[in-house]
Chain A
Amino acid sequence: MERDKFFKFLFYLYLFLSLSFLILKIDPLINNVRIFVSYLFDPSFSVGTINKFKDINYKIRSLLETEMNNIKLQEENRTLKARLMDFERLEKENLELKEILDVKKRVGYQGKFSKVISTNPRKPYSFIYIDKGKNDGIELYNPVVSYLNKEWVLIGRITEVYDDYSKVILITNSNFSFIADSGKSRGLLTGDFSNSLNYRYIDGEVKLGDEVFTSKASMTFPPFIKIGKIADVAFNPDPSLIYAKVSVFNIKDVDLVYVINFKPYKDTEQEI
């Protein structure tokens, strides 16, 4: 009687375990065990099978070594990926510089490339500082241009020169004004600490979209350097009161500049 009870208990226990295995679906875990065991024993019948038991130590060690090598390789892979990202950035930068160098050949002016090292955070369109100075051949009143949107545009001019750096007054500074030309007009550009200039005292016709260049009549800058485009025109019955807005560079895009080795005819004529 006792045996019968125990037998039934055992039967229900094994039934429960078997059904649990089936319901829980632990096959992925079992597969791992199968793979591990088959890797250790390689259970294929052959004369040399018995000898394969000798290799168990070696196989366990090689399994662990493989795992360690795998961890090392993953680490190396991460490092290489990080370096690759850096290379991609450098490649992009290199391409940009190559493009600038190609374009430099078309500038027609001698000069020096320089990096912007500082801007005025409160008035970003007033001054910038560049990393070239007297020791690099930079001179006072040299025009400064930058390569933006695949063309050279006027940025400003050197206003103070130090041994290793220089200060550049931007054309958008309200204390700066100079003569400029559009296709059919000539006028005076003045800054207002934004990315647009006021085009005043216009002689001739202006219309939206006209490109504005440095003028032949200006002694401040060499002629035909692009400044910007007419973005707005304020008409007035009195022609002397017509003025336009010229959209120019965005200071955020100005990173690399080119200081043209150009000396104005008379330094002192343009007061800043």
Chain B
Amino acid sequence: MTTTEARPTAEVGNPRRRKEDARLVTGRTRWTDNIVLPGMLHLAMVRSPFAHARITAIDTEAARAATGVIAVLTGADIADEQGALPNAWAIVPEQKAPVHPSMAVDHVAFAGEIVAMVVARNAAEANDAADLIDVDYEELPPVLDLRQAATDSSLAHPDLGTNVSAVWSFDSASAGTGGDVEAAITAARDGGILIEKEIRQQRLIPAFMEPRSIVVDPTPEQMTVWSSTQVPHFVKIFIALVLGIPESKIRVIAPDVGGGFGGKLQFTPEEVLTVIAARRTGKPCKYSESRSESLMAAHHGRDQWQKLTLAATNDGDVTGLKVELIADMGAYLGLVTSAIPLLGAFMYNGIYKFPSYHLKCTNVFTNKTWTDAYRGAGRPEATFAIERLMDELAAKVGADALAIRERNWIKHEEFPFATVAGLKYDSGNYEAATAKARELFRYDELRAEQLKRRESGDPVQLGIGVSTYTEMCGLAPSRWLGSMGYVGGGWEHASIRMLPTGKVEVITGTSPHGQGHETAWSQIVADRLGVGFDDIEVLHGDTQVAPRGLDTYGSRSLAVGGMAVLAAADRVIEKAKPIAAQLLEANVDDLEFSGGRYGVRGTESGMTMAELAFAVFQGHKLDGSAEGCLDADATLDPEDFSFPHGTHLCAVEVDTETGATSIRSYVSVDDVGVVVNPMIVEGQVHGGLAQGIAQALFEEAVHDESGTLVSGSFVEYLVPSSADLPSFTTARTETPSTTNQLGVKGVGEAGTIASTPAVVNAIVDAVRHLGVSDVPMPCTPYRVWKALQEGAQS
């Protein structure tokens, strides 16, 4: 056996501790807010307290006269300069959207919208002066309920003439992917099972750990922008497009970024305004939002209303699913706001073989903070809907929740499988994941205990929740994005530089904000090039260092960016071959690459990559027949999505006296394909579970009747901590993806997508015999208790 065969698994699969953790965990690193430049000025924003109003006057005189104030700017001052913020996804050609200014000029459409800014010598002076700005508003009736918004009875943007941004639909009969759902519904009504259900996906706040911060250094040569963003490459392009600065003169750096969860997949008003302030003053400028501003004005997530109709036979075979959706865009369209429900539209069939499917989605504007991507982005909503329905179907049929799923899911021998929603699932093994979960969970024992508690009338009831999910990861094939109306592509880029001292620089176009790319990409390259893990440095997040890239979101980094890294590594090996032949005085055909070394077959003669890199650096012995450079670039457009899946089982105890829910055990078995670093995968699963459970039990952005965000601090917006969560049992099965070279799938969103329905299903299962068939999210003790009161009456 040669080392070639041993190497590929040496690093890939190794649960290495993350290279980046020491600096991230201690905070001794370059967060944007830590950056201090000579002569730097500070910004403070004045934000509208009203959800919907006309600005009638702004008095900035006192602020302008205040200590340390350099400039005060209102929307009127920068109306021509600020341009409009972009939305990058028209889900239908006729999509409507109001002009989205970075700073409101005469109309505010949500509480938190910026109406003025102060530029001052320090942050305290900027804040003090902001308090002195007096804005006169004429309040307008706010549009707050998404269903009411859809009726156009009152308008969020009177000038737009409607609240409806777009209506998008999919029908399996007309798409040729399946049958007619209306026929299935009629048949079920005549002699089958019909389940109708309305679900409110509450509004959530991404609540990343590091509030957003921007520093801009304007020099005549270059506009350098540091931003706590997931998407530095997007920010660069949009600064150019919106503010008219040549793209070649813009450098955007995302230094270490403390979380995003989709919340920093955005081009923000604050970024535009900080650039404007820097351009106008000619000085470096910084804006760092407070937590209150972050919760109020950074984009929100979810917020959909779902009306579902599931048709099935009396035996529990699903025959069709009809989905009517209203999605709250909030006040404006952000980068991909309108496409969030669309990303879910392909997932309502979950892991099942539905013969018919119809979805109609209406995107509406309201006078609330705009929504956009939040961990899972459309897929959690879809998965929740179908997994709640499958539990209801099981209850109707009188079957076990796992058995009803097995009856309907795609069998492992049926892959690749063309779904009713029009996707091609390349691989999967739902039987294996479910069997493993069932065993780890001690499913049968818990069912027995549940029965016992029901029979004894125990005030604390036990419930078991099932969630079997799949999701589309690896966003995305550019041609698919194009066909869906997205303006950008889905490719990714990587470069590898072989340094003379034997070190390797890997440059990735993905932009980590906690995911551990530096470690994982090093593991991939170490295996491929046969160089040491510690000899590899991964560079990212700076458009001058990594000029090509499309950043990090949608569980794409490994499946797309990681594969670009792999492709670049293969090119390095390819480029090294003729050089090695020259230096080793051998025929190219006699060379073989293994264990990081080109050797001449049948001899001891050979050179390592480090030796080759040094020889190329010297150039002394190269004859010019091959390019004297080992460095290589690769751009990779994914062939298709990848489809992680898994089975999650949750046991909850519901205290029927108080309505309190506590999670007793939680088992997740995820199939994310080949795993590069199991420790990173486990971390992603844990974090994802916490966020998904948070939607089920804790988090909700609540507005009062005037449109003010009531849950505007962490006192009301309850982000759970480790004290509020159980110990998770996590395990994996491994069915390699066939859509990429390594067989990886993606794990960033899996936990969030799977866990919410598992928890809610468990709660309903615990108290179904007490007359409860649903509890709205978040399932607070109060809501569970109320459902129990109502159940007792019915």
Q: Do A and B come from one complex?
A: no
Residues on B close to A: CB < 8 A?
A: none
Residues on A close to B: CB < 8 A?
A: none
